[in-house]
Amino acid sequence: YYSGEKTAPVLTIFIGGNHEASNYLQELAYGGWVAPKIYYLGYAGVVTIGGLRIAGISGIYKSHDLHKGHFELPPYDNTTIRSVYHTRNLEIFRLKQLSSNIDIFLSHDWPNGITKYGNEADLLRRKGFFVEDIKRNAL
C-alpha cells in the first residue's frame, strides 16, 4: 500500500507498536495519511469518522522511557531501536485533554486482565512466553 502498488479496500485507521517501521512513522508524529485510505493517528490522535470518535495512542509502555521526550533519530542504535516505539507521558497528557467522550480507543498494549475474558489456555499454548507477564499483570 505504501508504494501505491495496491490500494486498501476500506478506510484503515492505525496506531504504531513495536513491529511497525518507526523511521517512517516518526515523519508523521501528529498523524497523517501513509497511503490512500490508510491513516496513522500519530503518537496520539483523534479522528471522527461516520460519527464515531476514534482515539489512539501509539507505542508500548516502558516505565524507563515514559517521562522522556522523543529524542530518537535514525539511524537507531541498540537502545533507540526500541525506545523509539515506547509510549511517552506527553501523549497520555494530550489525550487527557479531550473534553468529550470517545467511542473507540486504540492501543498497542493489552488492557490489564484481558486474558481472563478469552481463551487464556489456548493463548498460553500458542505463546507460552506470556505466562510470567500474565502472572505479574504486565501483559
Mean per-residue pLDDT, 99-126 = 95
| Distance (Å) of CA 92 to CA 29, 39, 88, 123 | 14, 20, 7, 29
Residues 16 and 67 in one domain: yes
**Cell output for 117:** 475474558
Residues 60 and 22 in one domain: yes
Radius of gyration of the chain (CA): 16
The values of phi and psi at residue 90, to 5°, are -55, -40
How many domains would you assign to the chain?
Answer: 2
> What pLDDT was estimated at residue 72?
98
Give the residue numbers spanning the domain of 125. Answer: 113-139
Residues 89 and 133 in one domain: no
Residue 139 has pLDDT above 90, yes or no: no
Residue 96 has pLDDT above 90, yes or no: yes
Residues 83 and 128 in one domain: no
Residue 41: how many CA atoms within 13 Å on its side-chain side? 28
Q: Is residue 2 part of a domain?
A: no
Residues 23 and 64 in one domain: yes
Mean per-residue pLDDT, 111-137 = 93
Question: Looking at the DSSP assignment, which residues form a beta bridge with residue 44?
Answer: 57
Residues 100 and 48 in one domain: yes
